Amino acid sequence: MAEKRDYYEVLGIQKGASEDEIKKAYRKMAKMYHPDLHPDDPEAAEKFKEVNEANDVLSDPQKRQRYDQFGHAGVDPSYGAGAGAGGGFGGFGGFGGFSDGEGIDLGDIFDSFFGGGMGSRSGGSNPNAPRRGADCSVSATISFMEACKGTKLDISFMRTEVCGICNGSGAKPGTTPRTCPDCNGSGKIRFNQRTMFGTMSSTKTCPKCGGRGKSIDSPCDNCRGTGRETKKTTVTVTVPAGIDDGQILRVAGQGNVGTNGGQRGDLNVRISVKKDPLFERKGFDVWTEIPITYSQAVLGDEITVPTIDGNVTYTVPAGTQPDTIFRLRGKGIQKLQRDGRGDQLVKVTLEVPKNLNKKQKDALIAFSEQLTEKNYEKQSGFMDKLKKFTDDLKKNFGM
């Protein structure tokens, strides 16, 4: 059996590292060797597996304690085959009452003692079974109106495909993979291991063929024996009306190709929506602000209101106050994948005129002199409250 690297060395940490240091190191190393970043790199895949194995042990206090005391043999009974009685557990010898005969599978006993996790005890899942391809993730930016109305996008991205040279076999054209001589095509090998519980019969993935059951003597030059290659592709995606900023649109079956005949992964498109100069979205409602003049607010007027369906005319009633909000029902955004639309809310803001000339000022003064308290209900009410407040101060505090 190949010599395993020290788990602390794999994660690049010291033996006395804290739990937080282990988590941080694991995230860093897992990201470095993640299969999504190295889809056709067997070496990176092996290192990713090694990093996960190290984290599985060091992040578990009980497993870590056994590892620190006994090394790899403390967490992997198959490690160190041929080490003699004790099976790598150093000086423990066989347990009385257990047979030393070959062919006894004591995996369940290890599970009951160590809570499972003995990945090398069994062959794991069938490496030749169909496997779904990994998902692809991309980002796309659309306008506010495209989000409201829906649109179609041509998305270009990189994804893995079946190698066009070897048609997925991994072998150079003119050659074919042969049955692996070590496992006779089964993808697994069986071995016997003496442990402190007796002799255990186990299976593991064949190291020569990686569990495929076939050996490639002349790898394809294009895919280097993987049977897959990375290509740029373009997919037309339908964006539904009502999609919002930050939502992810899943396009089924447009991701990376699967292995062993497995289905493709999905394409996940993260949508970003540009800001609009006129509209703001809140849920499925659309908000807009429209400035009106003092005369329009006092006398009332017809104003033009932009909506996502085009301009409409709205009558502002006489005496409209600043920041009044009007509602246009059903003029909002289509509710995503269901019936109905939101509303449009129109906030009118009062624009106070600036830079008045003398004639305009005189006219405004003359106009103001004609007004009474009845024309200013809010101001009149405020003045009444102010007078009461002042009287109370004088009466109670002498102010």
Which of 111, 113, 114 is CA-nearest to residue 122? Answer: 111
Q: Report the phi/psi class of residue 45: left, alpha or beta, with left for phi > 0 and alpha for psi in -120 to 50.
A: alpha
- What is the structure's pLDDT at 372? 85
* φ and ψ at residue 58, rounded to 5 degrees: -70, -25
Q: What percent of the chain is predicted at pLDDT more than 70?
A: 85
- What is the structure's pLDDT at 122? 41
**Which span out of 47-56, 255-264, 326-335, 363-372 was modeled with the highest average pLDDT?**
326-335
Report, as an integer, the average pLDDT of 58-68: 87
CB-CB contact of 26 with 51 (8 Å): yes
Tokens linked to 81? 């085959």
Alpha helices in 38-123 (DSSP H): 42-58, 61-70, 107-114
Query: Is 70 exceeded by the pLDDT of residue 66?
Result: yes
Residue pointed to by tokens 């240091």: 21
Question: Other CB atoms closer than 10 Å to residue 26's CB: what's the count?
Answer: 21
Residue 156's DSSP bridge partners are 234
pTM, full prediction: 0.60
Tens digit of each residue's pLDDT (9 = 90 or more) over 338-360: 889 999 999 999 999 999 999 99
Amino acid at 259: T
**Which span out of 57-66, 77-86, 203-212, 344-353 was modeled with the highest average pLDDT?**
344-353
Amino acid at 390: T
- What is the structure's pLDDT at 107? 41
- What is the structure's pLDDT at 197? 65
Q: What percent of the chain is predicted at pLDDT more than 90?
A: 46
- What is the structure's pLDDT at 99? 37
Which position has the higher pLDDT, 143 or 177? 143
Report, as an integer, the average pLDDT of 68-72: 79
Query: Is 80 exceeded by the pLDDT of residue 322?
Result: yes
Report, as an integer, the average pLDDT of 359-384: 88
Q: Which residues contact 368 (CB under 8 A, 6 or more apart)?
A: none
- What is the structure's pLDDT at 96? 35
Question: Other CB atoms closer than 10 Å to residue 336's CB: what's the count?
Answer: 12
Which position has the higher pLDDT, 33 or 288? 288
State the chain's mean pLDDT as an integer: 83
Which of 81, 85, 76 is CA-nearest to residue 122? Answer: 76
For residue 372, give the 3-state DSSP assignment: coil
Query: Is 50 exceeded by the pLDDT of residue 117?
Result: no
Which of 282, 299, 280, 333 is CA-nearest to residue 290? Answer: 280
Alpha carbon distances (Å) from 140 to 240, 276, 392: 14, 17, 64
Tens digit of each residue's pLDDT (9 = 90 or more) over 197-244: 667 777 888 887 877 788 888 899 999 888 899 999 999 999 999 999
Distance CA 181, CA 25 (A): 39
Q: Report the phi/psi class of residue 283: left, alpha or beta, with left for phi > 0 and alpha for psi in -120 to 50.
A: left
- What is the structure's pLDDT at 334? 94
- What is the structure's pLDDT at 304? 96
The alpha carbon dihedral of 32, 34, 40, 44 has a sign of positive
Distance CA 123, CA 30 (A): 23
Query: Nearest-5° angle of CA 263, CA 269, CA 270?
Result: 145
Q: Which residues contact 111 (CB under 8 A, 6 or more apart)?
A: 118
Tens digit of each residue's pLDDT (9 = 90 or more) over 245-293: 999 999 999 999 998 888 999 999 999 999 999 999 999 999 999 999 9
Q: Which residues contact 363 (CB under 8 A, 6 or more apart)?
A: none
CB-CB contact of 342 with 333 (8 Å): yes
Report, as an integer, the average pLDDT of 301-324: 95
